Amino acid sequence: MTSITENAMPVGRRAIRDEMIAFGIMTAVLMALPFTGVYPFFVMQGLCFALLACAFNLLIGYGGLLSFGHAMFLGTAGYVTGHALKVWGLPPELGIIAGTAAAAALGVLTGLIAIRRQGIYFAMITLALAQLMYFVYLQAPFTHGEDGIQGIPQGHLFGFINLSNPTTLYFVVLAGFLFGFLIIYRAINSPFGEVLKAIRENEPRAISLGYRTDHYKLLAFVLSATLAGFAGSLKVFVAQNASLTDVHWTMSGEIVLMTLVGGLGTVFGPVVGAFVIIAMQQYLAGFGQWVTVIQGAIFVICVLTFRRGVVGEIAHYFKRSL
């Protein structure tokens, strides 16, 4: 049986060099984007989803764990950050910390439950847990149910960076994205990342080598949840609202789709995939439910013919690691 990631990852100096060059290009493009006249809201939204997809990819691409409930971390962090900013009047930095910490705590709780089963069951359990959280947020008073938390103030980061200025906000979100991205990159290239890949390829063998695989899986899950939460907290400053859409299972599906399109188990795939899907939603917004149909069709096409994803195919063609 082949592994969920068909993207072979050569390690070594050349791989690191390729990835560094790609990282440089990505950063340069993202730095230049606001000056090209692209709608900044769109790019910022894309960056938040890119970080979210990267966090999800850490689990599926390197740990072989398919989480079908990552929306719960996005939504939880969003609600907590939104509540902290609007009701408690906390400054942005503390709001982000509160939201991310809430997602991390939820990650510990759900991770402890979900890692008790593998493979297909793991996916079903995470989906069910996310649905549980959806109903909790539907009924909890502080989320304002169907209305969500609206008109969240953006405030001044560290007291002097005005986040209601779109260009300033853009660079803050970009910095947050790059920070999260580098944490993930560091994690997958560390000894911890190597053990995670070993678990993905053959868990019984990793156990027989003396690794306590449950600890590694839980750590990966919590790290992924925390960074997904961080993305959710950043998104609050962009969208200025927190709503049930972010906790619904369709959102979890979109996260999976972004990563699948970009390339499971590639470093840059989730970023590309996130922008592809966000752009698609933007341009097809007028087609109503056909967007759902198209998303479903992309799932089907990707699984049947395009399992490496955009970045995976490019990397495979040039025999590079991206």
Partner 1 sequence: MDINLQALFAQLLVGLINGSFYALLSLGLAVIFGMLNIINFAHGALYMMGAFCAYFLLNVLGIGYWYALIIAPIVVGLFGILLERTMLQWLSGLDHLYGLLLTFGLGLIIQGVFQNYFGSSGLPYAIPEELRGGINLGFMFLPVYRGWVVVFSLAVCLLTWFLIERTQLGAYLRAATENPTLVRAFGINVPRMITLTYGLGVGLAALAGVLSAPINQVRPLMGADLIIVVFAVVVIGGMGSIMGSIITGFALGIIEGLTKYFYPEASNTVVFVLMVLVLLIKPAGLTGRTA
Q: Between residues 47 and 129, which has the closer beta carbon with respect to partner 1? A: 129
Give the nearest distance from C-beta 139 to partner 1 in angstroms.
Answer: 6
For partner 1, which residue of 119, 164, 166, 194 counts as binding (CB under 8 A)? 119
Angle between helix axes 119-139 and 249-262 (nearest 10 degrees) is 140
| Cα gap 185→290, rounded to integer Å | 36
- The only residue of 15, 90, 128, 161 in contact with partner 1, by rule CB under 8 A: 128
- Select from 76, 100, 131, 226 the one that contacts partner 1 (CB under 8 A): 131
66 touches partner 1 (CB under 8 A) = yes
Binding mask 44-63 for partner 1 (x = CB under 8 A): ----------------x---
Closest to 268 (Cα-Cα) out of 321, 193, 195:
321
How many beta carbons lie within 10 A of that of residue 147, not counting itself?
A: 10
The verdict on 288 binding partner 1 (CB under 8 A) reads yes
b/e map 27-51, b = 16+ CB within 10 Å: eeebeebbeeeeebeebbbbbbbbb
**Helix or strand or coil: residue 240?**
coil
**Is 3 or 168 the residue whose CB approaches partner 1 more closely?**
3
Neighbours of 179 (CB within 10 A): 12
Q: Give yes or no for a contact between 180 and 55, defined as CB atoms under 8 angstroms apart.
A: yes
Q: Residues 247-286: x/- map of binding to partner 1 (CB under 8 A)?
A: --x---x--x---x--------------------------
Among 31, 132, 182, 284, binds partner 1 (CB under 8 A): 132
Q: Which of 51, 72, 123, 174 binds partner 1 (CB under 8 A)?
A: 123
Encoded one letter per residue, x for contact with partner 1 by CB under 8 A and - for no contact, window 291-320 reads: xxx-xxxxxx-xxx--x-------------
Among 39, 135, 179, 283, binds partner 1 (CB under 8 A): 135
Which of 117, 186, 205, 212 contacts partner 1 by CB under 8 A? 117
The SS3 assignment for 242 reads strand
Per DSSP, the three-state class of 156 is strand
CB-count burial class (<10 Å; 0-12, 13-18, 19+) for 153: middle
Could you tell me which of 64, 13, 69, 83 has the C-alpha nearest to residue 236?
A: 83
Where do contacts with partner 1 occur on this chain (CB under 8 A)? 1-4, 60, 66, 68, 113, 116-121, 123-125, 127-129, 131-132, 135-136, 138-139, 249, 253, 256, 260, 288-293, 295-300, 302-304, 307
